[in-house]
Amino acid sequence: MTTVQQPLLTPVRLGDLELPNRVVMAPLTRARAANTDLAPTRLHPAYYAQRAGAGLIVSEGTWVSDRAIGYLNVPGIYSEAQVAGWTAVTRAVHDAGGRIVSQLGHVGSVSHPDHLGGRQPVGPSAVNPGEKTFIPTLGLTDTGTPRAFRADEIAATIEDYRAAAANARRAGFDGIELHAQGSQLVAQFLNPRLNQRTDAYGGSQDRRARFLFDVIAAVGEVWSSGRIGVKLSPYWTNGSAFTADEDTLADYDRLIARLTSAGLGYLHIMGPASAPERLTSFARYRSLYDGTIVANVGFTRDSGNDIVERGLADAVSFGAPFIANPDLVARFAGGHPLADADRNTLYGGGAEGYTDYPTSHATHLT
């Protein structure tokens, strides 16, 4: 029997990053940093090292400052304790033969004073994103109207990204990814419903994108552009401000085309949920963007191999599948079935549902 190598299992170069396969572990917030430092614990190195078979691991979204916080028990990368915690993670991943980049995030207005030491959340403009945020006293609660960033606060926030990128370097990461997807601060700046500024950061699409380009330039003082990735979600629909209407998609098309000039290591794009629509959108992004693309949302082994085979993406990221299948690449290689994650242990808690998912080999032995 002849075996044909699966496209996902072939090596690829993303900017300065050499990957032995094209299976990327998507960033996954797991909320296991239940300590006052918001630092990775001793569970984190074990969790990430178990998944080192991925061509590249993108860390869970991590805060660039204590003003960036919007969920409980999610680690940051702005303090020495956090850098020490992440250093143990990168060592464990490298010792296991893997590569890992740090995903740098800030939730802007999608937060609550309880996450911010009593301070009011800040956004591009004073517009309530109409989202929910989880706080211990009330559980899931509605977001309020944020305060608009002052110009000096925008500069300080861009500096926070630069400092966090420098911390990621000291912690031994192989690069960084900017968390510009979902309802995050970068996406809030891009969104004309949330960004009603009249200064250089608001108005036309190019001006709304300025915050992202300024952040890319700032982290580019620390990392070569070939070690910087950006994760975008043109199709994101959430709260009262995020819709994927025609104008939104056209805005993102323009942004994606413009990002070619940044010379990024890779552009990580969340496509639409529907499989046929996914192919057409990635064909469009391929023609707009001259660089390497990591495709995401809802891929399986077969659809992942297919999109790489078609030449519409250079690599494919898998989020949910990596939770219960630490050896996802080996399972793809062997054609083994995938396990489902326990939804009750996605966020928070300890080792259960985090570091205790067996490998396929172990499963077959039991």
Ligand X SMILES: Cc1cc2nc3c(=O)[nH]c(=O)nc-3n(C[C@H](O)[C@H](O)[C@H](O)COP(=O)(O)O)c2cc1C
Is there a contact between 64 and 158 (Cβ–Cβ < 8 Å)? no
Which among 20-28, 77-85, 135-143, 239-247 is the span making contact with ligand X, rule CB under 6 A? 20-28
Q: Which of 22, 112, 162, 231 binds ligand X (CB under 6 A)?
A: 231
Q: Is 45 in the site for ligand X (CB under 6 A)?
A: no
Among residues 205 and 303, whose Cβ is nearest to ligand X?
Answer: 303
Instruction: Report in angstroms the alpha-carbon separations of 56 from 23, 200, 294, 337.
Output: 7, 36, 11, 22
Question: From CA 107, how far away is CA 193, in angstroms rounded?
Answer: 16
Which among 41-49, 135-143, 294-302, 351-359 is the span making contact with ligand X, rule CB under 6 A? 294-302
Q: Is 281 in the site for ligand X (CB under 6 A)?
A: no
Buried b / exposed e over 302-332, threshold 16 CB at 10 Å, is: eebbbbbeeebbbbbbbbebbbebbbbbebb
Q: Which of 21, 102, 281, 296 binds ligand X (CB under 6 A)?
A: 296
Is there a contact between 337 and 327 (Cβ–Cβ < 8 Å)? no
Q: Which of 72, 126, 244, 320 binds ligand X (CB under 6 A)?
A: 320
What tokens does 4 get?
């044909």
CB of 9 to ligand X, least distance (A): 17
Element (H, E) at 88: helix 80-95
Among residues 125 and 296, whose Cβ is nearest to ligand X?
Answer: 296
Is there a contact between 53 and 361 (Cβ–Cβ < 8 Å)? no
- The residues in 77-136 that bind ligand X, with binding defined as CB under 6 A, are 103
Q: Hey, CA dihedral for 90, 93, 96, 98, is it positive or negative? A: negative
Among residues 244 and 320, whose Cβ is nearest to ligand X?
Answer: 320
CB of 151 to ligand X, least distance (A): 28
What tokens does 297 get?
């949302």
CB of 181 to ligand X, least distance (A): 5
Among residues 82 and 125, whose Cβ is nearest to ligand X?
Answer: 82
Q: Is 319 in the site for ligand X (CB under 6 A)?
A: yes
Q: Is 26 in the site for ligand X (CB under 6 A)?
A: yes
Which among 91-99, 243-251, 284-292, 297-305 is the span making contact with ligand X, rule CB under 6 A? 297-305
Q: Is 346 in the site for ligand X (CB under 6 A)?
A: yes
DSSP assigned state of 14 = E
Q: Is 38 in the site for ligand X (CB under 6 A)?
A: no
What tokens does 78 get?
């702005």
Is there a contact between 228 and 178 (Cβ–Cβ < 8 Å)? yes
Which among 114-122, 213-221, 275-283, 317-325 is the span making contact with ligand X, rule CB under 6 A? 317-325
Q: Which of 12, 17, 28, 186 binds ligand X (CB under 6 A)?
A: 28
Q: Is 181 in the site for ligand X (CB under 6 A)?
A: yes
Is there a contact between 269 and 293 (Cβ–Cβ < 8 Å)? yes
Which among 23-31, 144-152, 153-161, 201-209 is the span making contact with ligand X, rule CB under 6 A? 23-31
Question: From CA 53, how far away is CA 65, in angstroms rounded?
Answer: 30
Contacts of 43 (CB under 8 A, 6+ apart): 32, 350, 351, 354, 355
Among residues 211 and 318, whose Cβ is nearest to ligand X?
Answer: 318
List residues binding ligand X (CB under 6 A).
26-29, 60-61, 103, 179, 181, 231, 270, 296-299, 318-321, 346
